[in-house]
Amino acid sequence: MSKLLLIDDETDVQYSFQRIFDSPEIELTTASSGEEGLKLIPKVKPDLVLMDIRMGGISGMETLRRIRQIDSKLLVILMTAYGTTQTAIEAMKLGAYDYLLKPFDVVKLKDIVNNALKAAHDMRQVVSYQPLLESEDYESGIVGRSEAMQQVFKMIGQVAGTDATALITGESGTGKELVARAIYHHSHRSNQPFLAVNCAAIPEQLLESELFGHERGAFTGATLQRVGKFEQCNGGTLFLDEIGDMTPATQTKILRVLQSGTFERVGGNTPLKVDVRIIAATNKPLEEAVAAREFREDLFYRLNVVRIHIPPLRERREDVRLLVNYFLKKFARDQESEPKSISTGVVKTLEAYHWPGNVRELENVVRRALVVAKGDAILLSDLPGEIAGQSGSNTSAPTSNAPVAAGDAGATDVVSLTRKLFQWARKDPKLKLIPAVERELVLQALKETAGNQVQAAKLLGITRATLRKRIEKFGIQRELNLK
């Protein structure tokens, strides 16, 4: 639910707001003066303030100035019936999120409010991340005892105290974002915002406006002015994920912010100054993009001041065991249950796997195994077939008729067979596994026994009558006659 605070001395406006924002998702509080509004802010803790500029008592501008002192991050939208560019500029300079002219169009008003609430939400997410980091578990938040991870930890410690730009590289799922957040957490900016932008997930045309914001009318569809991530993040840390996926124009703008701390909103020409620390990440070789002239070389050097490379999990297999234990504990705590145990055999299988999806994949496998596991231990049969069925390149691969689960009590040939069947079923969501398997068993038994129903029934361990029913049910007679 979002909280709106309306500060306006006109009762008409208060009534119409109550009508417009009568929704279970919004809690609207009203104040009739700047003084009353200022008193309400610490109590209500609004996500967004909408305020008239001309009111009896202290003016909207003055109230805005004081709001800024109480809470520099609270978003404020100013409204007035007497719009002059001067007040608009003044309002924006004082850090208003937006500026609205009365009388307002309801649709537009709702749009602006939703837009602002989204921005407020983004900023709040940042704040709410901190308690999690400060919890006792933070120390173990990044798990790894391998030499490679020790190196990563040292680098985090070294860069955290500086404002240097850091470039984090590594395959997908290796923990790049986790490392970025750790740098932030240990930096002197840890009480300022941390925002993440995934450059690959945002369409090219929108990325620039996401980062730098845009002015009203900057392009078709830009009906509202928008504050970009750089502005929202002033004083804080901006995590640019998948940095390789930026257009040359955006690259140029980023370079400029890095060099001079200034930029303009899209469609605007007032240079804005920000103080933002950038941490970038990529899972693609940026050097190659530079060589292919897809990525600006000067920007690359600017970002690459400190390079932290996180090696893939298969190159630090000794971390697998630790990670598994960590995830088991973490999920148990989330579920408020006792952690399940895991046999050495299963851990060995996990260590041998090549983990193309790295730690994220391991985390998902553990999560899934916990769902599938029946008892209080995770068995080989609780792992996906592609992991349980192969033991990596450095161990001898099991033959199909030997038990796969060497060292794992209880696992038999049937288990590995079942796993193969599950693999089959997973590939075909429409498949009904049991009837499909049953049909195949009946069919093959009849083929093996050259259509001798007595022998086939014996082979299958069912009565001849049951066999006949199955033959009928699955339409097998026809199939055998055809062949």
Ligand X SMILES: Nc1ncnc2c1ncn2[C@@H]1O[C@H](COP(=O)(O)OP(=O)(O)OP(=O)(O)O)[C@@H](O)[C@H]1O
Residue 302, Cα to own-chain centre: how many angstroms? 26
Nearer to ligand X, 182 or 346 (CB): 182
Angle (CA) 449-453-458 rounded to 5° is 80
Sign (positive or negative) of CA dihedral 74, 77, 82, 87: positive
Q: Where are the alpha helices (DSSP H) in 261-353?
A: 286-291, 297-303, 318-335, 344-352
Nearer to ligand X, 177 or 479 (CB): 177
Answer for which of 14, 29, 130, 172 binds ligand X (CB under 6 A) is: 172
State in angstroms the smallest separation of the CB of 178 from Mg ion: 8
Among 9-17, 96-104, 174-182, 376-384, the segment contacting ligand X (CB under 6 A)? 174-182
> Which of 418, 404, 320, 394 is closest to 363 using CA atoms?
320
State in angstroms the smallest separation of the CB of 145 from ligand X: 10
Among 99-107, 226-234, 356-364, 446-454, the segment contacting ligand X (CB under 6 A)? 356-364
Within residues 316-355, the interface with ligand X by CB under 6 A covers: 323, 326
Nearer to ligand X, 176 or 253 (CB): 176
Count of other CB atoms within 10 angstroms of residue 89: 12
- Interaction partner, residue 359 (ligand X, Mg ion, none; CB < 5-8 Å by kind): ligand X
- Interaction partner, residue 283 (ligand X, Mg ion, none; CB < 5-8 Å by kind): ligand X
Q: How far apart are CA 185 and CA 203, in angstroms?
A: 29
Q: How far apart are CA 88 and CA 137, in angstroms?
A: 47
Does 63 engage in binding with ligand X (CB under 6 A)?
no
Question: SS3 of 310, please?
Answer: coil
Nearer to Mg ion, 29 or 198 (CB): 198
Pair of tokens at residue 209: 């406006």
Q: How far apart are CA 187 and CA 347, in angstroms?
A: 36
If phi > 0 it is left, if psi is from -120 to 50 it is alpha, else beta; for residue 407 that is left
Does 361 engage in binding with Mg ion (CB under 5 A)?
no
Amino acid at 380: L
Pair of tokens at residue 442: 């009946």
Q: How far apart are the first and last CA of the chain?
A: 66
Pair of tokens at residue 176: 């790049």
Within residues 170-189, the interface with Mg ion by CB under 5 A covers: 177
Nearer to Mg ion, 113 or 179 (CB): 179
Does 142 engage in binding with ligand X (CB under 6 A)?
yes
Within residues 261-290, the interface with ligand X by CB under 6 A covers: 283
Q: How many residues bind Mg ion (CB under 5 A)?
A: 1
Residues paired with residue 306 on neighbouring β-strands, in sequence order: 166
Does 360 engage in binding with ligand X (CB under 6 A)?
yes
State in angstroms the smallest separation of the CB of 241 from Mg ion: 5
Contact map string, positions 89 to 128, toward ligand X, x by CB under 6 A: ----------------------------------------
Answer for which of 116, 166, 176, 389 binds ligand X (CB under 6 A) is: 176
Does 144 engage in binding with ligand X (CB under 6 A)?
yes
- Interaction partner, residue 178 (ligand X, Mg ion, none; CB < 5-8 Å by kind): ligand X
Nearer to ligand X, 144 or 228 (CB): 144
Beta strands in 267-328 (DSSP E): 272-273, 277-282, 306-309
Q: How far apart are CA 325 and CA 347, in angstroms?
A: 10
User: Where along the sequence are the contacts to ligand X (CB under 6 A)?
Assistant: 142-144, 170, 172-178, 283, 323, 326, 359-360, 363
